[in-house]
């Protein structure tokens, strides 16, 4: 029986509280009121809602900054790849882009450390005060219950002094417990409410100072990069990057490289002709007939050579007409392009995942950035993961920029700007 005493005492206390709450709600028993404390509780609830809303907005702002940082780093990497090594200021431009990426990373870390984390820590104290207020209200019910029990015993026709004395002890004990916690809350709740001014001003100052410092450094870097690009444009206008024309030697039809004629060749040919004429003049008259015959032969051979050269040139000038394969080249290229488009559509259809049975998914999204859940009601996913988007259980709880989804059998919230609809 000794072991049952604590349990029976707790059960009796809960039964007494339930009875007292019912009588008060029905108006058959009066309740102890404290208007000052009710005002403190109202201010406490108002302050808690404000801090929760501010923490949510700071967190959403930080997540958007991270997405913007990833997009900006990708843009800067592409610009650096396109900036050719032979252009002026390439080393300075690459250094400036790296410094810009580092400044953005520091800015995001500063927002997280000076805004998101401190506001989250400040928010953690509100559940503790909520529990303390609930405990104070339970102690007040115990006090009212003990007070009404004593009044009932004192108004009975047959007074039982033993029960009255015990009821007075219970009333005194309940009053002490209530006054202790009530006095603490009367001091703590107003102090907490007054701290909202310093909290609000300090954290907004941190936000604006971080923004101003980041944009000041970013603007300075962008002006320097603009100067580098302006110098590059001026150098282009002066013709620094104009390509010089080169002598192109086309290969001959038989595959051998064609060579420029040597001027000495024509001089040697002229000398040979003059020497030949001198020898003909000094020749004996007896051989004149033979020389005439030889000249005729030479002339005939030259005519034959000229005819062969003309035929060669004509064969070069007039080539064979294009074949059927060349005429069908465009048709083959068009067929290949259409086949590639069909393959792309098939790959897109294969990437989609069928909806699991029993899930009324609105549509599916694919993760474009990795996200780690920071609360128990959020989802974690990697790049490429497929998430089924479902409707909110309560439309009034829908948050801007956040979606409700199911991933790996778990239902929770996730940021919409970290995914792409498929």
Instruction: Write out the chain in H/E/C secondary structure.
Output: CCCHHHHHHHHHHHHHHHHHHHHHHHCCCCCCCCHHHHHHHHHHHHHHHHHHHHHHHHHHHHHHHHHHHHHHHHHHHHHHHHCCCCCCCHHHHHHHHHHHHHHHHHHHHHHHHHHHHHHHHHHCHHHHHHHHHHHHHHHHHHHHHHHHHHHHHHCCCCCCHHHHHHHHHHHHHHHHHHHHHHHHHHHHHHHHHHHHHHHHHHHHHHHHHHHHHHHHHHHHHHHHHHHHHHHHHHHHHCCCCCCCCCCCCCECCCCCECCCCCHHHHHHHHHHHHHHHHHHHHCCHHHHHHHHHHHHHHHHHHHHHHHHHHHHHHHHHCCCCCCHHHHCHHHHHHHHHHHHHHHHHHHHHHHCCCCCCCCCCCEEEEECCCECCCCCCECCECCCCEEEEECCCCHHHCCCCEEEEEECCEEEEEEHHHEEEC
pLDDT > 70? residue 20: yes
pLDDT at 248: 42
Domain presence at residue 228: yes
Percentage of the chain beyond pLDDT 90 is 49
Q: Which two tokens stand for residue 371?
A: 């996200």
Residue 285 resides in a domain: no
Whether 65 is in a domain gets the answer yes
Give the pLDDT confidence score for residue 96 in this predicted structure: 94
In a domain? residue 337 = no
Residues 6+ apart with CB under 8 A from 141: 17, 20, 21
Say how many domains are in the chain: 2
Among residues 238, 273, 305, the one where a domain terminates is 238
Who has greater pLDDT, 183 or 331? 183
Average pLDDT over residues 300-326: 46
pLDDT tops 80 at residue 274: no
Q: Which of 64, 66, 195, 182 has the alpha carbon at shortest distance from 123?
A: 195
Residue at 275 is within a domain: no
Give a yes or no: residue 252 inside a domain.
no
Q: Distances in Å between the alpha carbon of 283 and those of 18, 76, 297, 331, 382?
A: 152, 88, 18, 73, 103
> What does the pLDDT read at residue 293?
54
In CATH, what number is assigned to the domain containing residue 416?
2.30.30.40
Has residue 346 been placed in a domain? no
In tens, the pLDDT along 82-137 reads 999 999 999 999 999 999 999 999 999 999 999 999 999 999 999 999 999 999 99
Q: How confident is the model at residue 187 (pLDDT cuts 50, 70, 90)?
A: very high
Q: Which of 207, 238, 269 is the last residue of a domain?
A: 238
Residue 147's pLDDT is 87
* From 250-254, 336-340, 397-401, the region with the lowest mean pLDDT: 250-254
pLDDT at 159: 78
Q: Is pLDDT larger for residue 289 or for residue 104?
A: 104
356 pLDDT more than 70: no
Pick the last residue of a domain from 238, 256, 281.
238
pLDDT at 79: 94
Which single residue is written with the structure tokens 């104290």? 125
Query: Could you tell me the residue range of the domain that residue 388 belongs to?
Result: 361-421
Mean pLDDT of the chain: 79
- Residue in 384, 328, 386 with CA at minimum distance from that of residue 354: 386
- The pLDDT of residue 342 is 52
* pLDDT mean over 312-323: 43
**Among 50-59, 231-240, 243-252, 330-339, the least confident range:** 243-252
Strands 410-415 and 419-421: unpaired
Residues 98 and 230 in one domain: yes
Q: What is the pLDDT of residues 200-249, one digit of tens each?
A: 999 999 999 999 999 999 999 999 999 999 999 999 998 887 665 544 44
CATH code of 198's domain: 1.20.1270.60
**Is 340 contained in some domain?**
no
């Amino acid at each position: 029986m000794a072991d049952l005493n604590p349990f029976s005492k707790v059960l009796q206390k809960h039964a007494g509280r339930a009875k007292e709450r019912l009588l008060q709600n029905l108006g058959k028993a009066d309740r102890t009121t404290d208007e000052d404390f009710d005002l403190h509780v109202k201010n406490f609830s108002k302050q808690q809602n404000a801090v929760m809303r501010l923490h949510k907005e700071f967190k959403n702002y930080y997540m958007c900054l991270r997405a913007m940082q990833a997009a900006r780093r990708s843009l800067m990497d592409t610009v650096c790849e396109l900036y050719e090594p032979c252009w002026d200021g390439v080393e300075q431009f690459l250094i400036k882009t790296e410094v810009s990426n580092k400044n953005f990373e520091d800015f995001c870390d500063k927002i997280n450390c000076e805004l998101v984390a401190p506001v989250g820590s400040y928010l953690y104290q509100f559940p503790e005060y909520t529990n303390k207020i609930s405990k104070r209200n339970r102690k007040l019910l115990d006090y009212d219950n003990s007070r009404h029990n004593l009044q009932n015993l004192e108004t009975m026709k047959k007074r039982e002094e033993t029960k009255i004395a015990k009821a007075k002890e219970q009333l005194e004990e309940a009053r002490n417990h209530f006054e202790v916690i009530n006095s603490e809350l009367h001091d703590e709740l107003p102090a907490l409410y007054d701290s909202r001014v310093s909290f609000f001003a300090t954290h907004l100052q941190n936000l604006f100072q971080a923004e101003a410092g980041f944009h000041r450094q970013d603007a300075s870097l962008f002006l320097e990069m603009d100067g580098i690009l302006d110098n590059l444009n001026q150098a282009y206008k002066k013709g620094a990057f104009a390509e010089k024309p080169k002598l192109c030697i086309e290969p001959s039809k038989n595959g051998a490289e064609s060579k420029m004629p040597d001027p000495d060749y024509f001089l040697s040919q002229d000398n040979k002709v003059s020497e030949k004429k001198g020898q003909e003049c000094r020749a004996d008259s007896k051989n004149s007939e033979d020389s005439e015959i030889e000249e005729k032969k030479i002339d005939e051979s030259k005519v034959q050579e000229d005819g062969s050269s003309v035929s060669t040139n004509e064969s070069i000038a007039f080539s064979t007409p294009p074949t059927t394969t060349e005429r069908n080249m465009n048709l083959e290229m068009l067929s290949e392009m259409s086949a590639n488009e069909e393959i792309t559509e098939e790959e897109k259809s294969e990437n989609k995942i069928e909806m699991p049975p029993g899930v009324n998914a609105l549509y599916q999204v694919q993760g474009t950035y990795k996200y780690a859940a920071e609360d128990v009601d959020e989802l974690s996913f990697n790049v490429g993961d497929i998430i089924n988007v479902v409707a909110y259980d309560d439309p009034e709880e829908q948050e801007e920029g956040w979606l409700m989804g199911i991933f790996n059998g778990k239902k929770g919230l996730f940021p919409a700007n970290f995914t792409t609809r498929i």
